[in-house]
Copies of this chain bind each other. A is one copy, B any other.
Amino acid sequence: MKLGDGVEAAIHCVTALATLDEGRVLPAAAMAEFHGLSTSYLLKHLKALTKAGILASVPGPTGGYKLAKAPEDLTLLDVVLAVEGPEPAFRCKEIRRKGPNPLPDDAFPKPCGINAAMLKAEQAYRKALRETLISDLIHNHNQTSDPRVHARGCAFVQQHIRP
């Protein structure tokens, strides 16, 4: 099981944008530079976050990205699903219906129990992600990070913030 690399970048960008004052934006290129990523790679994920209503993009030469919702109204699950898509990790291909001597569809009135058990575990995963707010991550970061990490982040934001 593997999540795409984009998830790490997406969550870090969302938490960085959560520190901006109302109406301010950061350009994609600045966020890419700060995280050591290529802009084209990051743009793909920023667009997915925008499409999901998590970010808003402001076009034009002084444009960039900002949060479309308050960090209290965004969960880790929102960000993960925006980047990875809504499909569950386990994708049943109904192999119980394959092979010789196939049975008619009415022999399978219920979902396969294996599929049901896998989806139940996925619900537990999603519940844990849903219970973590982006505001919790920021609060935790502010409480526990080294002052040098804060200083570096603030200096970078001040240098690139728009307008």
Contacts and interface: CB of A to CB of B under 8 A. Distances in A.
Interface of A: 1-5, 7-9, 11-12, 15, 33-37, 76, 80, 84, 87, 89-93, 95-96, 98-101, 103, 107-110, 113-115, 117-118, 120-129, 132, 136-137, 140-141, 144, 146, 148-149, 152, 155-156
Most chain B CB within 10 A, of A1, A34, A90, A123, is at A1
Contacts of A91: 2-3, 5, 8
Contact of A100 (B5, B33, B107): B33
Contact of A103 (B3, B98, B148): B148
Nearest to A83: B1
B100 A114 contact: no
A34 B98 CA distance: 7
A125 B117 CA distance: 11
Contacts of A128: 120-121, 123-125
Contacts of A152: 101, 103
18 contacts: A1-B2, A1-B4, A2-B91, A3-B91, A8-B91, A12-B114, A36-B98, A76-B117, A99-B156, A103-B149, A113-B141, A117-B132, A117-B136, A117-B137, A121-B125, A121-B128, A121-B132, A123-B128
* Protomer copies: 2
Main secondary structure of the interface of A (DSSP, over half): helix
A48 to B, nearest CB: 14
Contact of A140 (B2, B107, B113): B113
